[in-house]
Structure 1
Amino acid sequence: MKNRAYALINILGLAIGMAACLMILLFVRYELSFDRWLPNSENIYQLQTWYHDHQTGEDQNLQMAAYAAGSALKKDYPQVERMVYVSAGGFTVIRNGEAIAVDNGSLVSGPFFDIFQFPLVKGDPRTALKDVGSVALSESQAQKLFGSEDPIGKTLTVMLRGKPVDHRVTAVFKDLPKNSHMKFNMVARYDPVTYWAEQTEFLTQWGWQSGWWYAALKPGSDPKVIAADEKAWEKRNIPDETFGDRKYNQGDDSDYHLVNVRDVHLGKAQNGASTPGNDRRTILTFGVIALLILGMACVNFTNLSTARASQRAREVALRKVLGAARPQLIVQFVGESIIVATIAMMVALALVELLAPGFSRFLDADLDLHYFGRDGILLPVFALVLLVGLLGGLYPAFFLSRFQPSAVLKANRSAAETPGSGRLRNILVVGQFAVSIGLIICTAIVYTQTVYARTTDPGYQREGLLQLTGAARRQIVPLSDTLVAEISRVNGVKSVGRSSIGIATTNSSNTGISVPGKAEAVTLGTYSVDTKFFDTMGIKLIAGRSFDTARPMDDATLPFPEDKAAEQAFVARGANVVINELGAKRLGFRNPADAVGKQFKGGGFGTPDELGLVPINIIGVVQDSRFRSIREPLEPIMFRYAKNNLDAILVRYSSANPDKVRSDVEQVWKRIVSDAPFDAKFSEDIIEKLYKAEDARAKTFAGFAVLAVIVGCLGLFGLATFTAERRTKEIGIRKVMGARSRDIVRLLVWQFTRPVIIANLIAWPIAWYVMRDWLNTFDDRIALGPTPFLAAGLLALLIAIGTIAVHAIRVASANPIRALRYE
């Protein structure tokens, strides 16, 4: 109560540091808890496929694996007790005549609940998915489809490959928690052999990934034994294939890894994930930031304690004269420190209670705050109080107990300053502001890169674009011509295009192109488009021409189901294609125009390998377009004109009322494709969702940077206050000797801004190194120029000056008589 300002600065600074530390503790614990709630999780593994393109050096690590890979694994290793294949995609359900989209729905090849022991609300896990045609629903999905009715035994019509198939509901499981890499609302048992009867190559091709394999190993089995045999296993099982006159093997560029389900969320493989994961470096970064802020708060405590120590010199001296030993004084001062830390922790817990729900919603996570139990934070709270109390109070305790009574009490001295303590405080202030400046720099760069990712030219016109997607491609394809024609008539619609690649779609397809003079085939992405796609997307033609419906060679549509005669005729005549600029470069052309008219041979048209490669004629080159995240490498693409391999319908509109256009398009959709749910998103919304994680990271960095600056300013303000008080007589003498108020202000300001300038020299190289490493995770990124570094340094300097200037002006303006009077 006697030193309110000192107590307030210490308690508030420590409370902010502790609250930040606890919030990050909750976040880190949540990220590390993924799938640990799952029974037998220590024995459940996901089979992943990690690709390395030795032509470009790029890595693409998939959580998916080919159907053939899982079958071979189960066959070769007795350690594998059970395996199940989980298909990617969603479902369309017909309920009371209405088409309903079911997100996160999957087909499974076996008794799913034998591996994933989800808590069931209704049904028997031993028989729930025993038979083909049985289906299990999550609680929320069951409520959505059946309301208050008991769904067990009810029939549910599911659209599979364009045909309605009845399924019997056999189980309802609890909604999965957010801390799971799996998001299932509906799981249906199917027979892969029957399902893929029209495309049997799915069951045998090692390059076709369309789902996830999960294996339950026998208790006590070591997955490292399987990993050690991986190369030999690949050689035994992956057959050589023929590409023209060359032989290749799918295993040459791929490795297969069994990854425990608890490690999938933060694992190396994040492509082909059912839900977005995270990386350990991000978790570590936030943990380090929290510790730095807590450290800054402890530094404040140490600095203010040593600065205030001079005022407690007589107290220490008198205690020693009256018989107090140094260990007793150390215990007293450490005890004071722990008491202050305890009070600060009470304030911190109040802050966490208030902020945790909002922080949880912001991160879309379940950050539950419990004090007791296995997930309770009571033990970390006690540990943090003890740690902070010792870190903040140990040095001041040794420092204060060092005073000699004779030196302090002679000549009635009430103050003392140990040599070197001022230098220590300056070093600590430098460290504090180095952290603050570093965080400001990182925040500026992360935010700028995030804005750049959302706004940089993707190679197509983002504004005024509506994308229609869905899992009901089989229903749409026969009616797509009619659908496109009707949508084109909607008021405000300028053009409509179709494609198997759209904005941030998850599908990926590539093929090899045989280039004369090159020993290996050149890999290009291969996607179907119609003749309106490039105009609708706003993709510019660089050279040559686009597809034309009047030219039969442009049409690469093949009948489905397969027609051998049509396929043979197609391979004999060949096809015209359009490539992008990067594709032309990969094929060996410096100038895109040089690629026009050139002929190659390649695959990717859906024809059987035994028919040989398809002659390809390049008719045009379009500009590069980035359809996926800016983190992923730009894809070299070969476009082909086909009408029956489409995943997205793109609608270009010019209306000032986009919602009206969407509503009108929806009416057309429901009238023509009544058995397929309508799913349309504006391109701006798709991009916002694509970079949602980056945006959250930028805002979180900004929040912690602000906290760091606040803690640093609190300490600086406290130091300035005590320094000014200690130098009161010095300032009075300077004024009597003729110093002006502005000279005094400049003297005090310079004393505290000099450490900030030094802090810049420390923070800049560290922040540059860290941010360079982070920016390298993006395929396209901003230049790491001097602007954020200079701006952060200037901002920190202005904040420091603003923190102490008002106090310095007040002290400098005081009457020197009050400062110089004695007793």
Structure 2
Amino acid sequence: MWRNYLTTGVRALVKHKTYSFITIFGMAIGMAACLMILLFVRYETSYDKWVPGAENIYQFQTWFRDPDTGEEGQVQMAPYVTKGLLQKDFPQIENATYALFSAPVVFMNGQAASTKDYIYVADNFLDTVPLPMLHGDKAALDRPNVVLLSRSEAVARFGTDNVVGKTFSLISKGIRTDYPVGGVFQNLPKNSHMRINAIVRVDMGTYMANEPQFLDCWGCQGGWVYLKLKPGADPETITRQLHAWEKRNIPDQNAGEARFNAGDFSDWHVVNIRDVHLGRAQEGAMSPGNDRKTIVTFGIIALLILAMAVVNFTNLATARASQRAREVALRKVLGAARRQLIIQFIGESILIAFLAMLIALAMVEVLMPAFAAFLDADIKVRYFGADGIALPMVALVLVVGVVAGTYPAFFLSRFQPAQVLKANKSSSEAAGTGRLRTALVIGQFAVSIGLMICTAVIYAQTVYARTVDPGFKRDHIVQIDGLNRYQLINSGNQIVERFKNVEGVKAVGRTGIGIATDGNNNTGVMVPGNPKPVNIGFYNVDPGFLDAMGMRMVAGRWFDENRPLDNATLPFPPTPEAQTALAARGANIVVNESGARRLGYTNPRDIIGKQFRVAMVEDQFGLVPVTVVGVAADARFRSVKQPLDDIMFVSGDSGHQVLIVRYQGDPAAMRGRLESAWREITTEVPFDAKFSEDIIGELYRADDARAKTFAAFALLSVVVGCLGLFGLAAFTAERRTKEIGIRKVLGARSRDIVRLLAWQFSKPVIIANLIAWPVAWWVMRDWLNSFDARIALGPTPFVLAGGLALAIALGTIAGHAFRVARTNPIHALRYE
């Protein structure tokens, strides 16, 4: 019996090649998309599951909320002081460690080279977060002044990974230190929120000798705290006790006559390392994270594409029912039960699903390397094992086969032999089947139109993010990092003067907030009449910054190097005498428009000349009186997803992080000249320069990748929908051949016939638009609201998507329509 069913199914596929191609290929596209997204979703949800004991390892995060404005921010980092206090107050914690972000300079063979993803630790980091060792012993980190390297870092620096015992020289805080290599650990896989190339063991008190306030500062976010809980410990218990914990440990601070507590602005969260990558906190991360909405969205798209392929099968199976009606009738006459027929047709559906899966696997094997490289993900196609896809493949074949074949099976098996076999009559068009196919086609096009609208909106928002006016002229800018290196702290003026003399340089400026900055620096401002300090961004610049960035003033003036109060330079490390002097004499400041509004002035001109007191020095020296001398236009230094910074600028000769150079001429030649000038000043700090266009490109790279991936899957949905429509149009035209012949005999012209068929397939598209538009509007409105700067959600993408869908539908059926319309009526009337 089963062999007979298989033979019948194969013959049906071979006999109707167009039908077979459309159903199998369409289903293969749906399955391939489903498998690729399944692998992507599995990869995104697998982060840090490879870490031994990951279920007991947690990251301690700092979430901020401004009590005045309600603005929120979630940061993966935490103050250094929290690590020791957590261990002291919570016996559930077995180990805790603090990893300080650092970017020291490697000094080897007389050459300085930049580093990436280095962390400095004050204890054995691997006791809390066990990383797999390749050479040496993790116990090497039990003693200070030792370094562990990743395999790739060891090979990059020494040419081999067998480097235990060799000396590794690092320049940090202006001091060159030789560290023996105590071990080499395996490269961290890409599915980890951690990015670590080296672990440097130091004595934190000695390392921070010039910045001792960092060790007990509750507002300093420079590293990550990890906790290893004892087996069976409940992290929720710790979370519930954190409010009382902060009340016990965070001291009050003075702000003039007012007192405030850093805990008023902070909330603390204990997050398992497996949840960090997709968690809410994505600021201050070692590596870019993702969000669960994106993962769910891709999963829904995969299911929709697969559902469209299933709809194709159902539509075509019911449309060609007349071709199977006599077969069913004869089988019933010969004694076949309805249950046997249902099993036969579902079996044929499973056979089609199986053949489609073979093609889908070939697609996945071919496309997955490029897909993974595009997403910068280490996604492997494995068939067996814990992360194999063999079982999901089998499940997908069975589920798709059964779901796709159930309705056609029940529909075909209910034909009555007496009605089918008499006088060439067919019951293929049973009541309701035409309406069902129409409803399914509407659903298909609603999905395709919705995805096209979403793709258009996402693309437009991505282009807008890249091109929106940021408030400064971001073309022809080179941004050079490294000014905050100890070797260059007192060389800022020398660098500026040297670069001004480089051919093609138009302006040079120093700043603590550059293009696509990833750091935050805030301070408290006492506003007259407000007993609480106002938190505002606080960044050091120099007089050349305005012209170098191409910013403009909206009121007052910019800093002038000839006015003493415009210079608020403090020596490093700050001496008590210098801080006392600054607090006594005060300083001039410039705010941006958002900063003026934050301080209570909607009209920028009204804040000129106003005085405030600012926490610019340590608490014991009091607040510094400042006078606002200018208001700069708002400038967006971060992604359009983030709100504009409320900024207070202060001018000084030191304390900057980056150098901004505005230039003209050839970019490559300019970079070469700037590097030569840099090396004339220092050989211990590498030249780390990026063009503004490259910085912006990197800022939105992940968004671009997601948008293009979304567009690719939206295109697949259109292809699947068009395949189904093509097949349905072919069968419809065939079924209406006699009707069309009669119409032509009665005087209908070819264009009338084409219009008739075109209108038949246009109606579902129009109805699909009425369904897709409000759904897409609601989804895209919610998505756009996650951006601080966004496009307006106008009618253009909706009209374009609807028009394109209609054009695609008409183009898909045009060939059939013209062919049938031009058929000689004589042939049509001899059809039966």
Pair 1:617-2:633 in alignment: no
Alpha-carbon distance, 1:478 to partner: 2.1
Aligned to 1:474: 486
Aligned to 1:29: 42
- What residue is the counterpart of 2:104 in the other structure? 91
Contact 1:91 1:106 in 2 (8 A): no
What per-residue deviation string (whole Å, max 9, x for no partner) do you get for residues 82-113 of structure 1?
A: 11110113221111111011100110121011
Of 107-116 and 173-182, more deviation after overlay is shown by 107-116
Whether the 8 Å contact between 1:496 and 1:649 is mirrored in structure 2 is yes
- For the 8 Å contact 2:259–2:532, the answer to whether it is kept is no
**Contact 2:549/2:660 (8 A) holds in 1:** yes
1:644 aligns to what SS in structure 2? coil
Does residue 529 in structure 1 map to residue 541 in structure 2? yes
1:710 to 719, 723, 728: 719
Deviations 1:540-571 (A, max 9, x none): 01111111111111111111122111211110
Mapped contact 2:481–2:658 kept (Cα < 8 A): yes
**Any idea what SS the aligned residue of 2:491 has?**
helix
Equivalent residue runs for 1:320-339 within 5 Å: 320-339=332-351
- Structure 2: which amino acid aligns with 1:386? L
SS at match of 1:290: helix
Task: Tell me if structure 2 keeps the 8 A contact 1:13–1:711.
Answer: yes
Q: How does 1:1-400 map to 2 (within 5 A)?
A: 1-125=14-138, 127-148=139-160, 150-400=162-412
How far does residue 58 in structure 1 lie from its aligned partner after superposition? 1.4
Say if 1:822 and 1:168 are closer, same or farther in 2 by CA, change over 3 A: closer
Equivalent of residue 648 in structure 1, options 639, 658, 665: 658
**Alpha carbons 1:732, 1:817 under 8 Å: kept:** yes
**Match for residue 631 of structure 1?**
641
Q: Of residues 574, 580, 583 in structure 1, which corresponds to 2:592? A: 580
More off after superposition, 159-168 vs 645-654: 159-168
Whether 1:816 aligns to 2:812 is no
- Provide the C-alpha distance between the structure 2 equivalents of 1:36 and 1:590, rounded to a whole number of angstroms: 50
Which of 441, 448, 455 is 1:429 aligned to? Answer: 441
C-alpha separation in 2, matches of 1:177 and 1:90? 21
Whole-Å Cα distance in 2 between the matches of residues 149 and 283 of structure 1? 37
1:427-466 matched pairs, under 5 angstroms: 427-466=439-478
Which of 767, 782, 792 aligns to 2:776? It is 767
Match of 1:693 in 2: 702
2:565 aligns to what?
553
Partner of 1:514: 526
Classify the secondary structure of the residue corresponding to 1:50.
strand
Counterpart-to-counterpart distance in 2, 1:149 and 1:408: 78
* 1:471, distance to aligned residue in structure 2 (A): 8.0
The residue number in structure 1 matching 2:575 is 563
What TM-score, normalized to structure 2? 0.97
Q: 1:548 to 1:420 in 2, by over 3 A?
A: same
Letter in 1 for 2:390: L
Which residue identity does 1:613 align to in structure 2?
Answer: L
- Write out per-residue CA displacement over residues 285-344 of structure 1, whole angstroms, 9 at most, x where no aligned residue: 000000000000000000000101122111111110110000000000000000000000
**Alpha-carbon distance between aligned partners in 1 of 2:160 and 2:587, rounded to the nearest angstrom:** 55
Write the distance in 2 (CA, Å) between the matches of 1:471 and 1:384.
Answer: 57
Q: Is residue 89–residue 471 contact of structure 1 (8 Å, CA) maintained in 2?
A: no
Counterpart in the other structure of 2:795: 786
Question: 1:728 maps to which residue?
Answer: 737
Distance 2:162 2:808 in 1: 63
SS at 1:229 equivalent: helix
Distance 2:150 2:209 in 1: 30
Distance, in Å, in 1 between the alignment partners of 2:252 and 2:582 is 25
Question: 1:371 aligns to what SS in structure 2?
Answer: coil
Asked whether the equivalents of residues 483 and 658 of structure 2 are also in contact (C-alpha less than 8 Å), the reply is: no
Aligned twin of 2:4? none
Partner residue in 1 for 2:11 = none
Q: Name 1:661's counterpart in structure 2.
A: 670
Q: Which runs of 4+ in 1 moved over 3 A?
A: none
C-alpha deviations, 1:61-80, integer Å up to 9, x for none? 00000111222111100111
SS in 2 for 1:81: strand
Give 1:822 deviation, angstroms.
5.7
% identical aligned pairs = 59
8 Å contact from structure 2 (residues 512, 540) kept in 1: yes
Q: Which moved more, 1:319-328 or 1:89-98?
A: 89-98
1:743 aligned onto 2:755: no
Residues in 1 aligned to 2:483 and 2:572: alpha-carbon distance in whole angstroms: 18
The DSSP-based 3-state class of the residue aligned with 1:6 is: helix
Q: Structure 1 pair 472/123, CA: closer, same or farther in 2 (3 Å)? A: farther
1:713 maps to a residue whose letter is C
Q: RMSD between aligned alpha carbons?
A: 1.1
Question: Which residue matches 1:499?
Answer: 511
Counterpart amino acid of residue 792 in structure 1: A
Count of residues in correspondence between the two structures? 819
Once the 2 structures are TM-superposed, how far is the Cα of residue 56 of structure 1 from its aligned partner?
A: 1.8
TM-score scaled by structure 1? 0.98
Return the alpha-carbon distance in structure 1 between the equivalents of residues 162 and 352 of structure 2.
58
Post-superposition Cα deviations, 1:505-545, rounded to whole Å, max 9, x if no partner, equal: 22210111111222422221000001100110001011111
Residue 474 of structure 1 and its aligned partner are, at CA, apart by 1.1
How many Å separate the matches in 1 of 2:641 and 2:206?
38
Once residues 296 and 103 of structure 2 are traced to their aligned partners in structure 1, the CA distance between those partners, rounded to angstroms, is 34
Q: Which amino acid aligns with 1:784?
A: L
* Deviation (angstroms), 1:149: 7.4
2:516/2:638 contact within 8 Å kept: yes
Partner-residue secondary structure (3-state), 1:547? coil
Secondary structure at the counterpart of residue 423 of structure 2:
helix
2:9 corresponds in structure 1 to none
Q: Deviations over 1:386-443 (max 9, x none)?
A: 0110111000000000101111111232563111000000000000000000000000
The CA deviation string for residues 686-737 of structure 1, in whole angstroms up to 9 with x for no partner, is 0000000111111111101110000000011111110111111001011011
CA shift digits 1:182-226 (9 cap, x unpaired): 111111001111212222211112111111001111111110110
| Contact 1:92-1:471 at 8 Å conserved across structures | no
Q: For 2:755, give the aligned amino acid.
A: R
Contact 1:101 1:677 in 2 (8 A): yes
Q: Look up the SS of the partner of 2:169 in the other structure.
A: strand
- 2-side partners of 1:94 and 1:480: how far apart? 22
Paired residue type of 2:647: I
Q: AA paired with 1:336?
A: E
Q: How far 1:150 moved relative to its partner?
A: 3.5
CA deviation profile, 1:343-399 (whole Å, cap 9, x unmatched)? 000000000000000000000001100011111100000000001101110000000
- Judging changes above 3 Å, is the alpha-carbon distance between structure 1 residues 278 and 822 closer, same or farther for their aligned structure 2 residues? closer
Structure 1 residues 410 and 202: alpha-carbon distance in aligned structure 2, compared to 1, 3 A threshold: same
Could you tell me whether the CA contact under 8 Å between 1:65 and 1:209 is conserved in 2? yes
The 2-side partners of 1:305 and 1:423 are apart by 15
2:341 is paired with a residue whose SS is helix
User: Structure 2: which amino acid aligns with 1:2?
Assistant: K
Paired residue for 2:767, among 758, 765, 770? 758
SS at match of 2:609: coil
**Unmatched runs of 5 consecutive residues or more in structure 1:** none
Structure 1 counterpart of 2:5 = none
SS at match of 2:422: helix
TM-aligned CA deviation for residue 142 of structure 1: 0.6
Q: Is the contact between residue 484 and residue 656 of structure 2 (CA under 8 Å) also seen in structure 1?
A: no
